[in-house]
């Protein structure tokens, strides 16, 4: 298979998803091997997975090891110490070193090949029992689980918990680009909680206003769609006419002074065409499709972000601000009483 971008890889995987398992395996070059692939000597590895007489085809090798491992797990074996996705890289790295194929970033290929095979429908991440490193950065809702506010930075964890508590909507901090694994697990959690995945979902985002932030938000929505959440509301706007999300950190929501707090996009981002594609969709910082600058979320205060978010949220649900204020007062009083009781214990009173 030729080298593909992550977008091409996703689209290719989705194109395979409608085929039967045998055909998918054939198209991906995956076979059943009776012998443990990781026990093969270098000549045998090159014979089965060689790009040439001296070079291992890393993608082909990794896909076949993943499939053989899946077969073993299905048979009740536990062939490696199952932790997070990186654990799988540790499981295969000695063989890749032996084959002289551990240069570059093989872990990235592991991640991409898992994504390819999951989205093609061969299995789910949960079939491997991987840990979800992001599990602690999302908060479920009882009343409005289909309304999701997510932030790319874990610096907003406190804000996300506050929003979840006060408005009973789902909140998530992705810590950068959300992993395919984490979103699969997240959607599975929604299913187990009895959430109707066919209902209309509303996605709000707090991401940097730059190409990277746009990719993070886009991937988040795509991952939801790939895992069965299809009915996502479209938020029309000046630049966001067809976006299935509502971005909070955009120039239109900033003061004149904040819009000046830009940073220069990396040269490689500008040269790659990423900046141009982003600016064509959003208008860029200057509203004229400029590709030189981006703006980070930090230029807007949390109070400002909350104000804008709540204005948008109030168009979807009824918000009882008086009740929230009373709740906060009671919570503050409870904290004060707990602190007072602790102080008495410390003083022996």
Q: What percent of the chain has pLDDT over 70?
A: 89
The band of 347, judged by pLDDT with boundaries at 50, 70 and 90, is: low
Q: What CATH number corresponds to the domain at position 309? A: 3.40.1360.10
Query: d(Cα 237, Cα 246) in Å, to the nearest integer?
Result: 9
Give the predicted TM-score (pTM) of the model: 0.85
pLDDT at position 51, please? 85
User: Do 331 and 312 have their domain in common?
Assistant: no
Query: d(Cα 248, Cα 344) in Å, to the nearest integer?
Result: 45
User: Do 217 and 310 have their domain in common?
Assistant: yes
Query: Rg of the Cα trace of the chain?
Result: 24
User: Do 178 and 266 have their domain in common?
Assistant: yes
pLDDT of 216 above 90: yes
Residue 232 lies in a domain: yes
pLDDT of 39 above 90: yes
Query: d(Cα 44, Cα 64) in Å, to the nearest integer?
Result: 14
Range from 85-99, 114-128, 241-255, 314-328 carrying the lowest mean pLDDT: 314-328
pLDDT of 239 above 70: no
Query: Could you tell me if 45 and 64 are in contact, meaning their C-beta atoms sit under 8 angstroms apart?
Result: no
Residues recorded for the chain: 349
User: Do 156 and 298 have their domain in common?
Assistant: yes
CA angle 191, 197, 203 (to 5 degrees): 110
Place of tokens 């291992």: 56
pLDDT of 336 above 90: no
Taking residues 271-294, what's their average pLDDT?
Answer: 92
Query: d(Cα 280, Cα 239) in Å, to the nearest integer?
Result: 9
Under the phi-then-psi rule, with left for phi > 0, alpha for psi from -120 to 50, and beta for the rest, what region is 121?
left
User: Do 95 and 141 have their domain in common?
Assistant: no
User: Do 224 and 347 have their domain in common?
Assistant: no
pLDDT at position 104, please? 74
Query: d(Cα 250, Cα 287) in Å, to the nearest integer?
Result: 10
Of residues 134 and 293, more confidently modeled: 293
User: Do 105 and 155 have their domain in common?
Assistant: no
Q: Please enumerate in sequence order all residues whose Cβ is within 8 A of that of 139, keeping only pairs 6 or more positions apart, or say none.
A: 160, 161, 164, 170, 171, 172
- DSSP, collapsed to helix, strand or coil, labels residue 108 as helix
pLDDT tens, position by position, 7-22 = 899 999 999 998 999 9
Query: d(Cα 282, Cα 101) in Å, to the nearest integer?
Result: 41
Query: d(Cα 129, Cα 72) in Å, to the nearest integer?
Result: 13
pLDDT of 189 above 70: yes
pLDDT at position 46, please? 93
Domain-ending residue, one of 128, 150, 179: 128
pLDDT at position 168, please? 95
Query: Could you tell me if 253 and 306 are in contact, meaning their C-beta atoms sit under 8 angstroms apart?
Result: no
pLDDT at position 341, please? 60
Q: At what angle do helices 180-192 and 106-119 cross, to 10 degrees?
A: 40
Residue 143 lies in a domain: yes
Sign of the C-alpha dihedral computed for residues 156, 157, 158 and 159 taken in this order: positive
pLDDT of 100 above 90: no
Taking residues 84-112, what's their average pLDDT?
Answer: 88
Query: d(Cα 140, Cα 226) in Å, to the nearest integer?
Result: 20
The tally of domains found in the chain comes to 3
pLDDT at position 325, please? 61
How high does pLDDT run on average in the chain?
Answer: 89
Q: Which domain holds residue 327?
A: 321-349
Query: d(Cα 83, Cα 158) in Å, to the nearest integer?
Result: 27
User: Do 279 and 221 have their domain in common?
Assistant: yes
pLDDT at position 1, please? 43
User: Do 161 and 310 have their domain in common?
Assistant: yes
User: Do 14 and 38 have their domain in common?
Assistant: yes
Place of tokens 């093609």: 120
Query: d(Cα 115, Cα 223) in Å, to the nearest integer?
Result: 11
The band of 304, judged by pLDDT with boundaries at 50, 70 and 90, is: very high
Closest CA to 94 of 134, 127, 128, 65: 65
Domain-ending residue, one of 109, 128, 147: 128
Residue 1 lies in a domain: no
Taking residues 17-33, what's their average pLDDT?
Answer: 96
Query: d(Cα 187, Cα 70) in Å, to the nearest integer?
Result: 22
User: Do 119 and 143 have their domain in common?
Assistant: no
- DSSP, collapsed to helix, strand or coil, labels residue 263 as strand
Q: What percent of the chain has pLDDT over 90?
A: 73
pLDDT tens, position by position, 47-69 = 999 988 788 999 999 999 999 99
Closest CA to 306 of 134, 169, 119, 131: 169
Closest CA to 232 of 270, 268, 190, 200: 200
Query: How distant, in Å, are the alpha carbons of 31, 238, 276, 281, 342 from that of 242?
Result: 42, 10, 18, 10, 54
User: Do 212 and 306 have their domain in common?
Assistant: yes
Domain-ending residue, one of 65, 97, 128: 128
pLDDT tens, position by position, 166-180 = 999 999 999 888 889
The band of 242, judged by pLDDT with boundaries at 50, 70 and 90, is: confident
pLDDT of 319 above 60: yes
Residue 165 lies in a domain: yes
The β-bridge relationship of strands 246-247 and 293-294 is unpaired
pLDDT at position 2, please? 45
Of residues 122 and 104, more confidently modeled: 122
pLDDT of 23 above 50: yes
């Amino acid at each position: 298979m030729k080298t593909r971008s992550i977008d091409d890889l996703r689209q290719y995987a989705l194109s395979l998803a409608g085929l039967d398992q045998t055909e998918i395996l054939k198209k991906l070059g995956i076979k059943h091997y009776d012998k443990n692939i990781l026990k093969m000597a270098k000549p045998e590895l090159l014979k089965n997975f060689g790009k040439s007489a001296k070079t291992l085809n890393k993608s082909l090798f990794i896909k076949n090891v993943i499939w053989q491992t899946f077969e073993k797990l299905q048979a009740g074996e536990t062939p490696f110490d199952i932790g997070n996705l990186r654990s799988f890289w540790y499981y295969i790295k000695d063989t890749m070193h032996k084959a002289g194929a551990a240069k570059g970033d093989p872990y990235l290929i592991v991640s991409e090949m898992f994504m390819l095979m999951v989205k093609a429908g061969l299995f789910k991440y949960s079939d491997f029992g991987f840990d979800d490193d992001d599990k602690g950065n999302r908060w479920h809702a009882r009343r409005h689980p289909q309304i999701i506010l997510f932030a790319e930075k874990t610096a907003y964890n406190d804000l996300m918990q506050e929003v979840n508590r006060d408005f009973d909507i789902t909140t998530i901090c992705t810590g950068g680009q959300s992993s395919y694994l984490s979103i699969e697990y997240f959607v599975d959690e929604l299913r187990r909680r009895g959430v109707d995945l066919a209902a209309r979902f509303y996605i709000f985002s707090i991401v940097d206003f730059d190409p990277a932030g746009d990719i993070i938000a886009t991937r988040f929505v795509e991952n939801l769609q790939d895992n069965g959440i299809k009915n996502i509301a479209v938020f029309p706007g000046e630049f966001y006419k067809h976006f299935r999300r509502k971005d909070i950190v955009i120039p239109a929501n900033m003061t004149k002074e904040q819009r000046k707090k830009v940073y220069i996009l990396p040269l490689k981002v500008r040269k790659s065409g990423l900046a141009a594609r982003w600016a064509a969709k959003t208008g860029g910082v200057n509203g004229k499709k400029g590709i030189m600058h981006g703006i980070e979320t930090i230029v807007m205060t949390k109070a400002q972000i909350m104000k804008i978010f709540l204005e948008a949220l109030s168009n979807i649900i009824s918000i009882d601000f008086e009740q929230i204020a009373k709740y906060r007062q009671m919570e503050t009083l409870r904290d004060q009483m707990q602190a007072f009781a602790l102080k008495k214990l410390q003083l022996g009173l």
